[in-house]
Structure 1
Amino acid sequence: MLEKICFTDVTTFQAVATCFSFATMYVGSLYVRTQFLPRDHPQTIKERFLRVTVVSILACVVVYISSSSQCGFHMKGSILEWIGIRWNGFIPAIILPSLLIIILFLGPMMMFILDHGITSLTCYKLTDIILWRNFFVAPLSEELVFRGCMMPLLVPCLGQFTSILLAPWFFGLAHFHHAYEQYKTGYHTLSAIVISTIFQASYTTVFGILSSFIFLRTGHLTSAFMSHALCNIMGFPEFELALSHKRRNFVCFCFVLGLVIFLLSLYPLTNPLIYNNTLYFE
């Protein structure tokens, strides 16, 4: 049985500063390289796998060191429970948040099926290291650092609402490093890089709000990871293609229907009782 801990001794400044350091370490680890190869080169990807793993473990250690065993009536749980690694509610944490994201992307999915057929949904090669980066290692490490390690520090001193809005800013700003990678290629103008970077940071911040909400409601890192992985698979919805599609009315209807059902299902499918979440929702 792991020791029950809390974060009563962590001040607001310490929590925010530590979260900022997590984001800095995570992004910084992507650029400490032994060879200057393109980001999609297998060697670069493997090196980044190793470094983000080290950063993720280090962030977990810092969270544990920041905790206290003198909790009284404050929120308390084991270090694994704070991070969101637990068995209770594990199956719903895999299924229900994934269902939410599928519903949200109903329009893009239907448009893709109409254009490419349903069999094309299984076109990924499991041996593709870029696939493992985009759909497994990146979502898992990002959710562990930006949700699992930040929320235990932020929630006790700032509360759930502020934490849900604040943590995603670290997540969104962390994606500004893509501007540097675009600049290095020499294929993009400065204005295009600025617009693309601001758009991506805004999109990832909005997604971060959703992911933080799901994490706190379910108390599971798995639910945040599954949501993140599915969003990476789907990408940003192509609204312009939807409006010019040959079956525009049907596709647009699916876009709206998916959004409406998603909003109506968000609270019921993330009910803390389903996941036995008694830490973040006592």
Structure 2
Amino acid sequence: MSVADLVPLLPTWQAHVLAFLVGGSYVGSLYVSQNARLTYESENAVDQAKERVRRRDDPDVIRARLTAVTASTVLSCVVLCGVVYAMLDGPSKSDALSVTAELLGLRGLHGTLLPCLIAPVLYAGPLYVSYLSESLLPWQHFWGIDTLIPNRGQNGAVLQAIRNYVAAPITEEVAFRACILAVYGMSGSSRNKMIFLSPLWFGIAHVHHGWEVYTRLGRTTFAAQQAAFSVVFQTMYTTLFGFHCAFLFLRTGSLLPPMASHVFCNIMGLPDVSDAIARFPRRKLHIIAAHLLGILGYIYVLRSWTAGIHGVYWPAL
């Protein structure tokens, strides 16, 4: 089936409302439970005594937030299924679950291996730097679990890894990719609009981190400046990342490639060419060349490695 088979189409304003509810419930769930809210040191000893300091990486905070976003994501999927059920006609209403699964990209793994490898192509430069650091390949000196969990012995380190490499990629891709793209797909939005506009919800959803930065740094003028910089920077790169994942999701009709990209990018972090050159000055030209080749390779494989895979959002012509 094609998403165009769902008629009548969802009005665009309803798609916007549903997208807002998906993103809003995800972010809002982080603040519903007191255990999930962050608190920092206060200059007032009385206020500090009233409430225990809770930071983002505290085990109790991580557990509470994982529970909250999981519940929010499941609720978004249930609501999407309800919308699909309302849009289907007559006997076809019984297919609401299977249609919802198709819209969410919960399809087979056939043809999705190469799309999962597109992000590593883009990261050719950082991967080369990891090789120089002797942490990329199993036989290198610093390769091992400590690369993923550097502070394994500290309290909550494993929970942080679960959050960063498992829970966040799954819940964020289901909510901000699958659910939001599904409602826009059902509204008849063009693929270009879905690729370049829907990730704005993902970028905006990270704005709340600015308040955390502002509070953590003491709510001063300097804190406000740092929070503003953090918001702009994080919104930009999460939106750019959203373009990539939205394209993969629509092109393949599967949630696996964007989810794999999310995990990989969380493991690798943001590339830092200047730091890499400072660490390995004799390999400066090699490092620059590897980063440029990664960008050129990404542009080439983005379409070629997703060709021939057709799903509900990108049917065969």
TM-score, normalising length: structure 1: 0.88
1:278 matched to 2:311? The reply is yes
1:195 corresponds to which of 211, 226, 229: 229
- Confirm or deny that 1:177 pairs with 2:208: yes
State which of 75, 80, 92 in structure 1 corresponds to 2:101.
80
- Per the alignment, residue 232 of structure 1 pairs with 266
Q: 1:242 touches 1:252 (CA, 8 Å); kept in 2?
A: no
The alpha carbon displacement at 1:217 in A equals 0.4
CA distance in structure 1 between the aligned counterparts of 2:285 and 2:255, rounded to whole angstroms = 38
Shift of 1:279: 1.3
Q: Does 1:69 align with 2:88?
A: yes
- In 1: Cα distance, 2:306 partner to 2:243 partner: 14
Q: May I ask how many residue pairs the two structures share in their alignment?
A: 269
Q: Distance between the aligned counterparts of 2:240 and 2:143, measured in 1?
A: 26
* 2:313 partner letter: Y
The one of 162, 177, 180 equivalent to 1:147 is 177
Aligned CA RMSD, in angstroms, stands at: 2.2
Change (3 A) 1:226 1:155: same
Q: Deviation at 1:184?
A: 2.1
SS in 1 for 2:198: helix
Equivalence for 1:109: 127
Question: Any idea what SS the aligned residue of 1:280 has?
Answer: coil
Query: Quick check: 1:7–1:152 contact (8 Å CA) kept in 2?
Result: no
For residues 61-106 of structure 1, what are the alpha-carbon distances to aligned partners after superposition, in whole Å with 9 as ceiling and x for unaligned? 11111121139xxxx971101000012xx0542x323311111001
**1:20 CA displacement:** 1.1
Unaligned stretches of 5+ residues in structure 2: 38-53, 91-95
Name the SS for the 2:31 alignment partner: coil
For residues 106-137 of structure 1, give each alpha carbon's deviation from its aligned partner in whole angstroms, at most 9, with x where no partner exists. Answer: 10111122134434353234871101101110
* CA shift for structure 1 position 195: 1.0
Take 2:123 and 2:258, find their aligned partners in 1: how far apart are those partners? 16
2:272 counterpart letter in structure 1 = E
State the percentage of identical aligned residues.
31
Q: Does the C-alpha gap of structure 1 residues 116 and 180 become closer, same or farther in structure 2, counting only changes over 3 Å?
A: farther
Partners of 1:7 and 1:153 within 8 A in 2: no
User: Which has more radius of gyration?
Assistant: 2
Instruction: Give the direction of change, closer, same or farther, for the CA distance of 1:223–1:180 in structure 2 (3 Å limit).
Output: same
- Aligned residue for 1:100? 118
1:128 matches 2:158: yes
**Matches of 1:254 and 1:186, distance apart in 2:** 37
Going from structure 1 to structure 2, the CA distance change for 1:47 and 1:205 (only over 3 Å counts) comes to: same
Counterparts of 2:110 and 2:311, CA distance in 1: 17
TM-score, normalised to structure 2, is: 0.79
Unpaired runs of at least 5, structure 1: none
User: Deviation at 1:197?
Assistant: 1.5
Task: Tell me how far apart the structure 1 counterparts of residues 124 and 55 of structure 2 sit (CA, whole Å).
Answer: 34
Distance in 1 (alpha carbons) for counterparts of 2:7 and 2:61? 37
